[in-house]
Amino acid sequence: MNKSNATIELKNISKQFKKNTIIDGMDLSVKAGEFLVLLGPSGCGKSTTLRMIAGLEEPTSGQVMIDNRDLRELKNDGHTIAMVFQDYALYPNMTVYQNLEYALKIHKVAKDERQKRIENVLETLNLTKYRDRLPSQLSGGQKQRVAVGRGMVKKSEIFLLDEPLSNIDVQLREKARDEIQNLHATNQQTIVYVTHDQLEAMALGDRIAVMDQGIIQMIDVPENIYNNPANLFVAEFIGTPQINVIEVEYKDSNVLFNNKSILADQNLNLKEQKYRLGIRPENLFCSKERQNSQDLELTVENIIDYGRFVQLSLVNDEGLTLKSIVNTFEFNVNEKVFVHLKKATSLLFDYEIGKNLNWGNYE
């Protein structure tokens, strides 16, 4: 199948439900053939956004454009858009085969063509055995595949998925994720995928749009979302364990915590005021001996062994709690630990609004 040509563009979209603003002046453009993930906590408006793209909800103001044409002017021929729902929404009185066939039949796709497409999809999704079963006779994972299959047979330009994996067992989830990735690789449809699972988002998305409170906080490739989050919300939402945040002050070319310097840099273009310093747990460099006068001194409160890595919870009597991920087993509970920070692996955020300040470098 050729790469999809369909673009999606949201222009200054707002959506209100009974005076509650769900989406607030959102702009978003999805490139043709792109896999875009909408990621955010529950209630952030990501599903509403998807439903507006699908035409299931009317935006209170703004425009949804598909291929540069207003969605409202598009005739729903059941061909442009396919969607997979969280609880699958299979027609309960129809067999797997009939579920896949129904929309095609209604839109008068020729019988041979129909059969070919459905057999093909059943084959790809490993559903051939179940073609004559009713949805009630399928497992969660099978239902999910039928739901995806129902979207696939339409060969639509745009494929929308609303948390399609959240109702299936963890063990199956990874497999289903790979399946969806393969589908995109072969079919090159424009995909908008809603999830609250950051791992899913990182694994699947060409780009990720992180949403909160009806606003896109950041939209970028997964790598940048993780390493260079636009603000504190994105930084805290992505990554487990969460990013460590320390309230600091910048003074005389030094980053101070409790009036003690923890980082020094002569060339910073920063005002002398309070900031928040974010450090990912894997970027806290721990050692048993003090290496540097700026090292923070903490005590190991507890250790969780995840097998692949070890998570340390560190505290000190100044009320600081930090999480660190290390690959060694040299640390013990109640022992002293010295933590070294590096500017290159730390993020500086505005104290009030949480914006990532890039250490004062603005491109």
Partner 1 sequence: MHNKNKKILPFLYLLPTAILLIVFMIIPIIYTFYLSFFDWNLIAPTKEFVGLRNYIEVFTNPVNQKVILNTLIYIFFLIVLNFLVPYFISLIVKFFIKKMQGAYKVLFFIPSLFSLVVGAMLFTWILNPVSGPIAYVMKNLGMTMPNWSNSGILAITVICFITNWKVFGYNFILLLTGLGSIPTNIIDAAKIDGIPKWRLIWNVILPMNRGIGIYVLILTIVQGLQYVFTPINVITTGGPYYGSSNMIYQTYLNAFVLYKTGTSSALAIVTFVVFLVLLFIEIRFVEGKAKKYV
Residues near partner 1 (CB under 8 A) are 51, 54-56, 76-79, 81-83, 85-94, 102-103, 106-107, 136, 150, 154
For the CB of residue 75, give the shortest distance to partner 1 in the complex, in Å.
8
Give, in degrees to the nearest 5, the angle at Cα 39 between 35 and 45: 115
For the CB of residue 6, give the shortest distance to partner 1 in the complex, in Å.
15
Buried b (16+ CB within 10 A) or exposed e, 346-356: bbbbebeebeb
Distance separating alpha carbons of residues 343 and 266, to the nearest angstrom? 12
Contacts 24+ apart (CB under 8 A), 109-118: 117/153, 117/155, 118/153
Distance separating alpha carbons of residues 30 and 6, to the nearest angstrom? 9
Nearer residue to partner 1 within complex by CB, 103 or 310? 103
For the CB of residue 191, give the shortest distance to partner 1 in the complex, in Å.
15
Nearer residue to partner 1 within complex by CB, 69 or 107? 107
Nearer residue to partner 1 within complex by CB, 150 or 276? 150
Between β-strands 190-195 and 35-39, what pairing exists: parallel, antiparallel or unpaired? parallel
For the CB of residue 158, give the shortest distance to partner 1 in the complex, in Å.
10
Nearer residue to partner 1 within complex by CB, 107 or 111? 107
| Residue 148 φ then ψ, to 5° | -65, -40
Nearer residue to partner 1 within complex by CB, 146 or 201? 146
For the CB of residue 328, give the shortest distance to partner 1 in the complex, in Å.
49
Nearest in space to 241 (alpha carbons), one of 295, 278, 190:
278
For the CB of residue 129, give the shortest distance to partner 1 in the complex, in Å.
21
Nearer residue to partner 1 within complex by CB, 37 or 160? 160
DSSP lists the bridge partners of residue 304 as 311
